[in-house]
Structures are given as structure tokens and as C-alpha cells.
């Protein structure tokens, strides 16, 4: 779908992209050779997955990412095959792979995530320059995924601060030091899961009251304008200064969990950037995540599934303007 001039301009940054490889076997067991199905390969990494789903929602998001080696070339070819705009920063290291195996006997996925390359100072500076050169300047930049090995989290804090000074709204999905670094600078939207937010704050969040209080605390402290807290099978919370809402998870049987969180972020960031009401944005986010759970491997959400599931999402408004 062609993006109209009235639609927001989005970009994604994936600092540690991966070529996702998926296959299946009858049973995973030690010692014996495991005869696998023909593999499927997709471009992966948090921001890449976000851009893939935004496209299926009818929008566009440029992908900014460092790529290196033969694996990087394969990943770039898959971005082009999906019609995604890519701003590639060449690096010396080899882009990583991630490997997912479905054990059909148990209906269980085994996910093997290989380490990514280290980024040199000059390579990270090239990423910063590429972001500054984006034309048109994005309304929203989604930074999603793990940090490259050895990257000083302070670099992410400084990057987030520079982005915000340019008037770009930053949406962040990271864990550990990456989450802390982004929140230090202050972001427009942050999407931790329950474990990540608890670790960031140094305390357990066992019930809805404590979860709401934690999200509201981030907003009150100016660390985020919107907090989307993923609760896994229990659903999700969305909180701002003037809104709090809860969406229970849809009763579906997951086929694969790969990319579900990225799909949630894609739906939420896309709708909020367009000025949608928070209830509508949360409904689209849950529908996109659910559609991805129904898709095998890293195929991500199908447009038809998102449209079909969205009316089934129930939103409980806990606080409004």
C-alpha cells in the first residue's frame, strides 16, 4: 500500500540484526542425527520485525541497520524481497544468525540465539550519521532489539538524547542495560515485559496495582510518555499521564512466539504516531501480536489475521482524561 503524505514517517534502528532460520524435526533428542525440514530464512532482529509488521498494517518504516559478511548480504536481500527500505551501514564483523527448531512431538520451539559482531567506534558513529541524514526526518524512530556485544550503554543514552533534540519521538524495546540507558534519556514510548521492568526497577511487580504504579512512576519521572507493559499470557497494560488501559490476551493457540513482542510494538507505535486513541492503538497492538503467534517461525503477522482479530480485542479503560 502506498503511504499517503498525511501518514507519519517512521524508521527503525536494529543494532544487532539477525538472519532468522527456522526448521522442524519429529523430536529433539541427544546424540542421534536430527533430520530437519527444509529451512525458512527471514530478515530478523527487533527493529526489522517492527518494520515488517508496519508494512502489513499499511505503513512504511525505513530500516537502519549494520550488516556485514555473507549473512548480512542474505539478510539485505530478504529485506528487498519484502519491499522494505533499508539504510545499511557496512561493518567488518559477520551479521549473526538465530536458529529456531520446532519439536513436533511436543509442539515446543527451541530457540538458539548466536552472538552478534562487535561494533567499532567508527561503525557506531556511522550509524549515528545515517540516522541524522534520514530524509525525510522521521516522526518516530523505533529502537528495538539487543545491543551488540561490548557496546557501552552510554552510547545509546546519548543517541536517544540527540534523537529527541531533533524532535523525533523515540520508541524503545530493550532489556537490561539497553532499557536503563534509554530511560535515562527519556523516551516517547517504552515496551518492557514484566520481567524486564521488574529487573530495571529492582523489585517484583506481582499484581495489577504494583504494575500500574511502576508504569505511572516512569511517566511521572519523565522517563517515558507511554509505557506499554507486556504481561505475556495475561495481556498488556498501556499507561500515560492521562490514560491507563488493560487488554486481556486473546484465547488463541500459539504456533510460534518469534516476533510477537515486535509485532505488538509495531501496532502500537504505528497507531499512536497516527494520532489514534489509545484504546484503538492497544487493540491493534494486541491483534498484531496475536496474529504473529499464529504464524509459523518468523513469518510474522498476516494482514488478514490482524484485521480479523482486532474486533475481538477487549479493552478495559482503567483511567481516562
Hunting for cell 533430520 — which residue is that?
Answer: 35
Tell me whether residue 139 is one of the annotated catalytic residues.
no
DSSP string over 16-56? S-EEEEEEEES---SSS---PPPPEEEEESHHHHHHHHHHH
Grid cell, residue 88, equals: 545499511
Angle of helix 278-293 relative to helix 260-273, nearest 10 degrees, comes to: 150
Q: For residues 109, 104, 56 and 72, what is the CA-based torsion angle, rounded to 10 degrees?
A: 60
**Nearest Cα to 141, choosing from 130, 152, 125?**
130
Q: What are phi and psi of 142, to 5 degrees?
A: -100, 115
Beta bridge partners of 20: 42, 98
80 CB-contact burial (10 Å; exposed 0-12 / middle 13-18 / buried 19+): exposed
Task: List CB contacts of 216: < 8 A, sequence separation 6 or more.
Answer: 227, 239, 244
DSSP secondary structure code for residue 104 in this structure: T
Catalytic residue among 20, 42, 262, 305: 262
- Residues tagged active-site: 262
Amino acid at each position: 500500500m502506498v503511504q499517503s503524505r498525511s501518514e507519519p514517517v517512521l524508521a527503525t534502528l536494529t543494532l544487532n540484526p539477525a538472519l532468522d532460520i527456522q526448521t522442524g524435526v519429529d523430536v529433539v533428542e541427544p546424540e542421534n542425527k536430527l533430520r530437519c525440514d527444509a529451512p525458512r530464512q527471514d530478515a530478523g532482529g527487533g527493529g526489522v520485525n517492527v518494520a515488517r509488521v508496519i508494512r502489513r498494517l499499511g505503513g512504511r518504516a525505513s530500516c537502519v541497520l549494520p550488516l556485514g559478511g555473507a549473512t548480512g548480504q542474505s539478510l539485505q536481500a530478504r529485506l528487498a524481497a519484502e519491499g522494505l527500505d533499508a539504510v545499511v551501514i557496512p561493518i567488518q564483523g559477520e551479521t549473526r544468525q538465530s536458529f529456531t527448531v520446532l519439536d513436533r512431538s511436543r509442539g515446543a520451539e527451541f530457540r538458539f540465539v548466536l552472538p552478534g559482531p562487535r561494533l567499532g567506534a567508527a561503525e557506531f558513529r556511522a550509524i549515528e550519521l545515517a540516522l541524522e541524514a534520514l530524509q525525510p526526518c522521521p516522526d518516530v524512530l523505533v529502537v528495538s532489539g539487543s545491543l551488540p556485544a561490548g557496546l557501552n550503554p552510554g552510547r545509546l543514552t546519548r543517541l536517544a538524547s540527540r534523537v529527541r533534540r531533533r524532535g523525533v519521538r523515540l520508541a524503545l524495546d530493550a532489556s537490561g542495560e539497553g532499557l536503563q540507558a534509554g530511560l535515562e534519556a527519556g523516551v516517547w514510548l517504552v515496551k518492557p515485559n514484566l520481567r524486564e521492568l521488574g529487573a530495571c526497577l529492582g523489585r517484583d511487580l506481582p499484581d495489577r496495582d504494583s504494575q500500574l504504579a511502576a508504569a505511572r512512576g516512569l511517566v511521572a519521572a519523565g522517563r517515558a510518555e507511554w509505557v506499554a507493559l507486556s504481561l505475556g499470557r495475561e495481556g498488556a497494560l498501556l499507561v500515560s499521564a492521562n490514560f491507563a488501559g488493560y487488554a486481556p490476551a486473546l484465547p488463541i493457540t500459539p504456533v510460534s512466539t518469534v516476533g510477537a513482542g515486535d509485532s505488538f510494538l509495531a501496532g502500537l507505535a504505528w497507531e499512536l504516531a497516527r494520532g489514534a486513541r489509545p484504546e484503538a492503538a492497544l487493540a491493534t497492538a494486541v491483534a498484531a501480536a496475536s496474529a504473529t503467534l499464529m504464524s509459523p517461525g518468523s513469518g510474522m503477522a498476516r494482514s488478514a489475521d490482524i484485521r480479523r482479530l482486532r474486533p475481538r480485542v477487549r479493552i478495559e479503560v482503567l483511567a481516562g482524561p
